[in-house]
């Protein structure tokens, strides 16, 4: 079956520090990969996605590259801000039509201190 | 971008009562919606797939008679927690696939259910 393994948190950083959250997956075929973010008190929002090998998703200074050889989709940001404090979820969706079920990682809580 | 709303945003009820949660796609039609449950500091667990005009598909271990799902229109799915008990207290979240990009989903803000 499909599964996502995500680096456990919590992660606490200082502003302008480099952030990496590791994510690896197990899936049949080539799924689409996502990072979702959940800010305090809000619902999940799509942060970025990649749909095929070597694709790089990017948004708001965050990046993640779809690595088929290592089945990974690590999230990175070079200089975090206090406003990046949130819970980050790695997820995958199987590449089959009409099957859009998402499998989520456990989530990583990130706290950025000023 | 597309918006998914949920109502209510929070609800407190007595044990044994039933609670209905609505999920609406505000500016697009959704033949499929998903219902998740999220425990504190944990990930989202898919409960069921709501299908417009047909029965919902439940994930293994989810009681279909306990969590009733109705998808009566292309913009509305409802989840009814029947005879709620304190262990049903959780954060319930719905999502709907984007039109033309089904692997991207839009999430509702969630409903916090507390059963006393």
Which residue on chain B is closest to A100 by alpha carbon?
B103
How far apart are the C-alpha atoms of A100 and A96, rounded to whole Å?
8
The whole-angstrom distance between A17's CA and the closest CA on chain B is 24
How far apart are the C-alpha atoms of B97 and B10, rounded to whole Å?
24
Band (A95; pLDDT cuts 50, 70, 90): low
Which residue on chain B is closest to A32 by alpha carbon?
B103
* Cβ–Cβ under 8 Å, residues B2 and B98: yes
Band (A96; pLDDT cuts 50, 70, 90): low
pLDDT tens for each residue of B36-59: 998 877 788 999 999 998 899 999
- Find the CB nearest A42 among B46, B106, B109: B109
- Find the CB nearest B105 among A42, A102, A109: A102
Which residue on chain B is closest to A3 by alpha carbon?
B45
Band (B101; pLDDT cuts 50, 70, 90): low
HEC string of chain B equals CCCEEEECCEEEECCCCCEEEEEEECCCCCCEEEEEEECCCCCEEEEEEEECCCCCEECCCCCCCCEEEEEEECCEEEEEECCCCHHHCEEEEEEEEECCEEEEEEECCCEEEEEC
B5 touches chain A (CB under 8 A): no
B44 touches chain A (CB under 8 A): yes
CB atoms within 10 A of CB B75: 19
pLDDT tens for each residue of B87-98: 999 999 999 987
Q: Across the strands, what pairs with B49?
A: B34, B57
């Amino acid at each position: 079956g499909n599964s996502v393994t995500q680096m456990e948190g919590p992660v606490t950083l200082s502003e302008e520090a480099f952030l990496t959250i590791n994510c690896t997956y197990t899936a049949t075929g080539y799924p689409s990969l996502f990072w979702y973010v959940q800010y305090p008190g809000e619902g999940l929002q799509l942060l970025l996605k990649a749909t095929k090998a070597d694709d790089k998703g990017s948004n708001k200074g965050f990046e993640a590259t779809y690595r088929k050889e290592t089945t990974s989709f690590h999230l990175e940001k070079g200089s975090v801000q206090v406003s990046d404090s949130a819970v980050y979820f790695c997820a995958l969706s199987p590449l089959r039509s009409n099957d859009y079920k998402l499998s989520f990682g456990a989530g990583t809580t990130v706290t950025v201190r000023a | 971008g597309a918006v998914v709303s949920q109502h209510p945003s929070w609800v407190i009820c007595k044990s044994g009562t039933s609670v209905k949660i609505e999920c609406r796609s505000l500016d697009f039609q959704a033949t499929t919606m998903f219902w998740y449950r999220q425990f504190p500091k944990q990930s989202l667990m898919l409960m069921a797939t709501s299908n417009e005009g047909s029965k919902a598909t439940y994930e293994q271990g989810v009681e279909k008679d306990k969590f009733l799902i109705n998808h009566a229109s292309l913009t509305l799915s409802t989840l009814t927690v029947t005879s709620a008990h304190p262990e049903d207290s959780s954060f319930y979240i719905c999502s709907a696939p984007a039109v033309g990009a089904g692997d991207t989903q839009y999430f509702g803000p969630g409903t916090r259910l507390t059963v006393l």
